[in-house]
Structure 1
Amino acid sequence: MLHAVIMAGGTGTRFWPASRAASPKQLLPLVGKSTMIRQTYERLEGLVPPEQTLIVTNQQLVEPIAEQIPELPVSQLVGEPCKRDTAPCIGLAALLVSRKDPDATMLVMPADHVIRSRNHFQSAVKQAVEMVGKSQAEIVTFGIKPTYPAEIFGYIHRGAAIDTRGDSAPSYVVKHFREKPNASTAAEYVSSGDYFWNSGIFIWKAKTILDALAAQQPEMLEHLKKIVDAWGTDKQDEVLEKEFTAIEGISIDYAVMEHAKNVAVIVAPYDWDDLGSWLSLARLLGTDRDENTIVGKHLGMNTKGTIIRSTDDHLVVTLGLKDCLVVHTPDATLVANKNDEESIRNIVKLLEQRGMTEYL
């Protein structure tokens, strides 16, 4: 059976001041009226039932996510006691899923992606599940055709084409996964036509990923097994705290994917964005004749190339701004050069250093 795992533990620091520890970006309605986690969950409707959908997040977010997705059984929400990156998250999910269904196939995806056309997304997932079931690949991911030489995404280097039925999306053998490149390397990738953006969405058998972790991260897997052995007992929380904290954090890319063989990539037949920063709003929501992207109430004079996010009950007035980022919230306002948005992470660190935790 197909099981879905939604990874929802990120902090979204690039979206400060809207994204905070208690309400990170996946819990916010950044694109559309519903929150990112809600959109991700609804994308599975008709494909994976609630009892086969697992959301892994941090302990602080379990309750607010349960409120946003009341139809999801509480047993399907897993709260990590600390941040340990994606490999432990996925490994724990794989153990929990395989305990119920030893032959489970897993769809693993982040909670903060924008994917348009649910039907096309589900069609691609079904194609990937079929490929895994027929052993055409042990791991299948989705590649996004690059529209510009992005430095903010990882890349997938494609190899030979894989034969699929006529109505399927094109698929290829994966040669290599590449980390986020510099500008010149990204330009080479795009001009070659042999690279896709890495969407970070995967389909595999639970056994496949557990075997990979046993080979590459055996110590991590032993900690995770102890957690699952205590799952559902009165020692669950105690063992989870002890064993998960003892794990050394590592991403699934470094832990598994760079060593993986027999990996395929399907060219995604849907529109995708990872909503990585405020600049994403311009791509997703478009711009006006002055190349501004406006969310909320705004009055501008001589304002160009600027992203402004406020609310309908608070007016933001701008005069003489160019290529700026203005984000208003009830207790904090950010004004920045939009091309320096990577430094927003440093603002969060500075607030923490100065003890201004009420703004985190």
Structure 2
Amino acid sequence: MLHAVIMAGGSGTRFWPASRNALPKQLLALSGERTMIQATSDRLEGLVPAERRMVLTNQALVSAVLEQLPEFPNQNVVGEPCKRDTAPCVGLAAAMIARKDPEGIMAVMPSDHVIGTPDRFRDAIRAGEKLVQEDASRIVTFGIKPSYPAESFGYIERAEPLQAAGVAAFQVARFREKPDRLTAQQYLSSGSFYWNSGIFLWRASTILDALKSHQLEMYEHLDRIAQAMETDKFQETLAVEFAAIKGTSIDYAVMESYPNVAVIEAPFEWDDVGSWQALERLNPSDEHGNTVVGSHYAIDTKGSIIFGQPGHAIVTIGIEDMIVVQTPDATLVAPKSAEERVREAVRLLLESNRNDCL
């Protein structure tokens, strides 16, 4: 059977001050009325029933996630006791699924992507499922056809084509780390590279075997957690064994060295919503190029991003290409060109003991 795993452990620091430890980016509505994690679950309708959807998140966020996803059984929202990156997250989910469904196939996806064509997304997942059913050792990933030479994404280089119904699929030649500008331009020009979407499909048993082969110490910790499932020692074992894992990404742990990976050229619209400027892609702009979420009154304001609380009036005068974010207890004002430095602001507040703003 097909299962869905939603990874929701990120803190979304680049979306401060709207994104906080207690309410990170994936629990915010940045595009439309539904929050990002709700939209992620919504697009699984008709593909994977709620009882086979799972969320892995920060332990402190379990209640908030369940509140936003009331259709999920409580046991399907799993709280990680500490942050250990995506490989332990994936391994824990795989161990839980494999105990219930030894032949189960997992579709793994982040909780904070915007996909504008959910029907095509579901079709692509079904095509990937068939590729896994044809070859149980195969891992499937989804590549985004690049539209500009991005330096902030990892890349996938494709090799020979594969037969797949309704989608373009290829064997993967290799994975590439985030490139510099010149290398990214070369990737774009070649036409044989994709952005790595971070969406995967595999049998739960296959990814567990891969972790056992490539990350034995991690696998052993995960196996001890699996052995304690459905016992009164589970939470205690999870806390001890998960914390003992050396965190790393699933790309580094498995994908970059695994010999049998296929990539499907994503037929769906995709945005990873990585920073405030993503709002320009996800929301309409006014006649002066301003993107506004909230109540904004502009005087000589151009090309700016304004994000505020409902009913709170934001007035700007004589600004251009700026980001202005208002929350009840913190405000950010920055040029769009400096948006990557929002992380510096978070570090500054942490060093200043302003945890109340984080």
How would you bin the TM-score normalised by the shorter chain? over 0.9
Instruction: State yes or no: 1:251 paired with 2:249.
Output: yes
**2-side partners of 1:72 and 1:240: how far apart?**
21
Q: Which runs of 5+ in 1 are unaligned?
A: none
What residue in structure 2 maps to residue 331 of structure 1? 329
Instruction: State yes or no: 1:232 paired with 2:211.
Output: no
**1-side partners of 2:78 and 2:293: how far apart?**
33
TM-score (norm 1): 0.97
Q: Cα offset for 1:325?
A: 0.7
Alignment of 1:28-67 (within 5 A): 28-67=28-67
What residue in structure 2 maps to residue 102 of structure 1? 102
Alignment of 1:233-312 (within 5 A): 233-312=231-310
Q: Structure 1 137/100 Cα, relative in aligned 2: closer, same or farther at 3 Å?
A: closer
- The one-letter amino acid of 1:152's match is S
What residue in structure 2 maps to residue 140 of structure 1? 140
Q: 137-146 or 251-260: which moved more?
A: 137-146
**2-side partners of 1:355 and 1:308: how far apart?**
27
**2-side partners of 1:284 and 1:153: how far apart?**
19
CA displacement, residues 179-211 of structure 1 (integer Å, 9 cap, x when unaligned): 221222111111111111111100011111111
**2-side partners of 1:192 and 1:320: how far apart?**
43
Cα pair 1:172 1:264 within 8 Å, conserved: yes
Q: Cα offset for 1:33?
A: 0.2
**1-side partners of 2:197 and 2:12: how far apart?**
17
Cα pair 2:136 2:206 within 8 Å, conserved: no
What residue in structure 2 maps to residue 80 of structure 1? 80
What residue in structure 2 maps to residue 216 of structure 1? 214
Q: Percent same amino acid among aligned pairs? A: 56
Q: Cα offset for 1:174?
A: 1.0
- The one-letter amino acid of 1:267's match is E
What residue in structure 2 maps to residue 11 of structure 1? 11
Q: 347-356 or 18-27: which moved more?
A: 347-356
Cα pair 1:26 1:35 within 8 Å, conserved: yes
Q: Structure 1 164/196 Cα, relative in aligned 2: closer, same or farther at 3 Å?
A: same
What residue in structure 2 maps to residue 318 of structure 1? 316
Query: How many corresponding residue pairs?
Result: 358
What residue in structure 1 maps to residue 338 of structure 2? 340
Q: Cα offset for 1:149?
A: 1.3
- The one-letter amino acid of 1:287's match is S
**2-side partners of 1:212 and 1:174: how far apart?**
17
**2-side partners of 1:164 and 1:91: how far apart?**
27
**2-side partners of 1:224 and 1:163: how far apart?**
35
- The one-letter amino acid of 1:106's match is M
Q: Which runs of 5+ in 2 are unaligned?
A: none
Cα pair 2:157 2:193 within 8 Å, conserved: yes
Q: Cα offset for 1:222?
A: 0.7
CA displacement, residues 16-72 of structure 1 (integer Å, 9 cap, x when unaligned): 000000000010101110111111111111111122111100110100111111111
What residue in structure 2 maps to residue 157 of structure 1? 157
Q: Cα offset for 1:137?
A: 6.9
**1-side partners of 2:196 and 2:128: how far apart?**
15
**1-side partners of 2:278 and 2:47: how far apart?**
28
CA displacement, residues 280-316 of structure 1 (integer Å, 9 cap, x when unaligned): 1112214333222111111122222211111330111
RMSD: 1.2
